Structure 1
Amino acid sequence: MNIDFWGVRGSIPTPLSSQQVRTKLIAALQRIKPEDIQSDAAKESFVKSLPWWISGTVGGNTPCVELTLSNGEKIVFDAGSGMRVMGKFSEPPADKHYHLFMSHFHWDHIQGLPFFDSIYNPNIVIEVYSPFPKMKDYLKSQMVAPFYPVDFSAVEKHFVFHHIVPGQFIKIGDALVSCTKMSHPGDSYSYAVIEGGKKFVYATDVELGTKDFVSGEERGSVFEGADIMLIDSQYTVEEALRKANWGHSAFCYAIDFAVAWKIKKMYMFHHEPTYDDRKLNTILESARWYANYISDESLEIDIAREGFGLTL
């Protein structure tokens, strides 16, 4: 399966500020040498040599992750503002069907849907899956006057809604999808996709606690031995303690969780909106040190960045 990150920021869309752009330019200029500007090729090589937090960004769009299965079918997790970007740069599935799995219905996870071009395409069908039985009402509620100029009734015929339950396996192509409930205000659900013997886990908006480390059939079917896990790592420990019951986790708690469930590679996700790229890179370095310290380098750590993809 191919995995593309279209939105990785938490809570609210966060575009780069002018000050953050200036900080990146200053950091780049501090590294430049005369030979780096002698030719176009030298300039290109210099830019490529810069750390990602200078030459790029994790992005500011809220959660939306796209999986393309081996048969071309597409699974999408959440409909944050990244979904608008997905609609601009990702090819629709050949069968004209999207399978949209919703973790929950807080604003940052639904606000991209009205701006997703495909919902206005009469040939596209969007199948929505969620353990929340009122999912249709929740999506409709943001597409009504005075909040949005197009009423949901104008696109409703393109949607099919499926109420699912934890422990259930949904077959899409050759893949199986399952979910489990996590701790978050109003609840949130984590998902696993298994295809061709590989497992991907989408675990946004989770506040990890003792019970999440206890082995059980439902939890194990989602997390155990996953090849890649995308997980809420929004806070430092200090912030997690200050913001107890806000529904998010410190990056080191997420690493403890990944080690406990024998995850092979973990991507930090749902980034704090007040963190700039330099701060996030510092957290990534700390996370890698901590993971190596407790797991003897058996767990890989990376950070989810908008516009990037990988193959599993």
Structure 2
Amino acid sequence: MLVRFWGTRGSLPVAPTAETIRRKVAQALVAAGSLQFDNIAEAELFVKKELSFAAGATYGGATSCVELETLHGSYFICDMGSGLRSFGIDSLRRNAAGHSKTYNFFQSHLHWDHIMGFPFFPPAFDPNVTIRIHSGHPDAEEALRRQQEEISFPVPFEWLRADFQFVQLTPGETYEVDGVKVETILQKHSHDSYGYRFTDADGKVAIYSTDSEHKLENMGDEAAFIEFFREADLVICDTMYSLADSVSMKEDWGHSSNLVAVDLCHSAEAKCLALFHHEPTYEDEDIQRMHEESIRYEELTRNGPPLDVICSYDGLEVRI
């Protein structure tokens, strides 16, 4: 299974400012010192090897959208954030090369940052495309239609030509979707949220669990999530806030922290944790700092197999 991250921010899309870009360029120049490069490839190699990720790159600014590429041909996509636009354009290229035109969407929930990319999804205008939208919410179709009403968007839902199918999923049930086993779990978030467990034919397991609040004082109530994450190869988890923020001024906002995610994955003996749904006010340096803190915390609290902690960014690919 290949996992592609098309959007990794939460709440709203963000873009680096001119000041941010100038700072990154200045840091690179200072780090290079008197070095000279004969071509762009040499300079790029220096940036990749010698600069931190925050200094030489960016975590990106598109909101939640993750693709799971399996052996069975059809598309599997988690959430329709603004990252969906880039995925949609890329999928047109793959469709032209003979890829299946069936798109299986799995919605964590229906807040705007998780559906805002859909009006800009080109395959929705293709009459040969099938779009299945899986969700735990009975009002998923209503949410997508409402954001394309004239007061909000110039292209009404009725103009879309794809074959739409809305499928409501029930927590505790196991579903077979185009050769992939899918399970879902109810999460604590406004208007409810749902996490997903995907198991492919090779037995590889990917978890998508965002917009879910896990409280430190209620870890005893998290047994269901520990079992849901059990021995997963990859857990994509909501780590929007620092622990301090999640238990103070942003308590009950429906999100969780990097440290609680490590605790859950340790208990579940998961293999890899991907930090996800980054706070939009965080600069690249802030996200990198959280990543480094998460790695140190994992090492300090480890009492079993090691947990690989990675930090998702727009464009990241992870093969499991």
TM-score bracket relative to the smaller structure: over 0.9
Give the structure 2 partner of residue 76 of structure 1: 77
Amino acid across the alignment from 1:153:
E
Equivalent-residue separation in structure 1 for 2:161 and 2:89 (angstroms): 21
Same amino acid, percent of matched pairs: 32
Please, which of 121, 136, 140 is the counterpart of residue 141 of structure 2? 136
How far 1:99 moved relative to its partner? Answer: 0.4
**2:119 counterpart of 1:119:** no
Give the structure 1 partner of residue 313 of structure 2: 305
Q: Using structure 2 for the length normalisation, give the TM-score.
A: 0.92
Amino acid across the alignment from 1:244:
E
Partner of 1:35, secondary structure, is coil
Amino acid across the alignment from 2:172:
G
How far 1:34 moved relative to its partner? Answer: 2.1
Amino acid across the alignment from 1:2:
L
Indicate if the aligned counterparts of 1:258 and 1:266 stay in contact, CA closer than 8 A.
yes
Give the structure 2 partner of residue 295 of structure 1: 302
Equivalent-residue separation in structure 2 for 1:140 and 1:39 (angstroms): 50
Give the structure 1 partner of residue 279 of structure 2: 272
Partner deviation per Cα, 1:95-122 (whole Å, 9 max, x = no partner): 2100001000000000000001111111
Equivalent-residue separation in structure 2 for 1:174 and 1:166 (angstroms): 19
Give the structure 2 partner of residue 48 of structure 1: 48
- Return 105-114 or 51-60, whichever deviates more: 51-60
Alignment of 1:208-247 (within 5 A): 208-209=214-215, 210=218, 214-216=222-224, 219=225, 222-240=228-246, 241-247=248-254
Indicate if the aligned counterparts of 1:7 and 1:61 stay in contact, CA closer than 8 A.
yes
* Structure-2 change in CA distance of 1:252 and 1:36 (3 Å): farther
How far 1:214 moved relative to its partner? Answer: 4.0
Indicate if the aligned counterparts of 1:184 and 1:206 stay in contact, CA closer than 8 A.
yes
* Structure-2 change in CA distance of 1:257 and 1:220 (3 Å): closer
How far 1:266 moved relative to its partner? Answer: 0.2
Partner of 1:282, secondary structure, is helix
Equivalent-residue separation in structure 2 for 1:176 and 1:235 (angstroms): 31
**2:163 counterpart of 1:162:** no
Equivalent-residue separation in structure 1 for 2:33 and 2:128 (angstroms): 54
Please, which of 180, 204, 228 is the counterpart of residue 185 of structure 2? 180
How far 1:295 moved relative to its partner? Answer: 1.1
Indicate if the aligned counterparts of 1:87 and 1:116 stay in contact, CA closer than 8 A.
yes
Partner of 2:282, secondary structure, is coil
- Return 274-283 or 93-102, whichever deviates more: 93-102
Partner deviation per Cα, 1:103-144 (whole Å, 9 max, x = no partner): 000000000000011111111110001111111111100011
Q: Using structure 1 for the length normalisation, give the TM-score.
A: 0.94
* Structure-2 change in CA distance of 1:94 and 1:39 (3 Å): closer
Amino acid across the alignment from 1:231:
C
CA RMSD of aligned residues (A): 1.7
Partner of 1:114, secondary structure, is helix
**2:207 counterpart of 1:206:** no
**2:289 counterpart of 1:282:** yes
How far 1:40 moved relative to its partner? Answer: 4.9
Partner deviation per Cα, 1:178-213 (whole Å, 9 max, x = no partner): 100011111110001001111100001011032575
Equivalent-residue separation in structure 2 for 1:74 and 1:252 (angstroms): 32
Partner deviation per Cα, 1:34-77 (whole Å, 9 max, x = no partner): 23435555423312222221221111000000111112221100
* Structure-2 change in CA distance of 1:238 and 1:120 (3 Å): same
Q: Number of matched residues?
A: 310
Indicate if the aligned counterparts of 1:59 and 1:305 stay in contact, CA closer than 8 A.
yes
Indicate if the aligned counterparts of 1:119 and 1:155 stay in contact, CA closer than 8 A.
yes
Indicate if the aligned counterparts of 1:213 and 1:257 stay in contact, CA closer than 8 A.
no
**2:34 counterpart of 1:27:** no
- Return 109-118 or 206-215, whichever deviates more: 206-215
Equivalent-residue separation in structure 2 for 1:62 and 1:40 (angstroms): 30
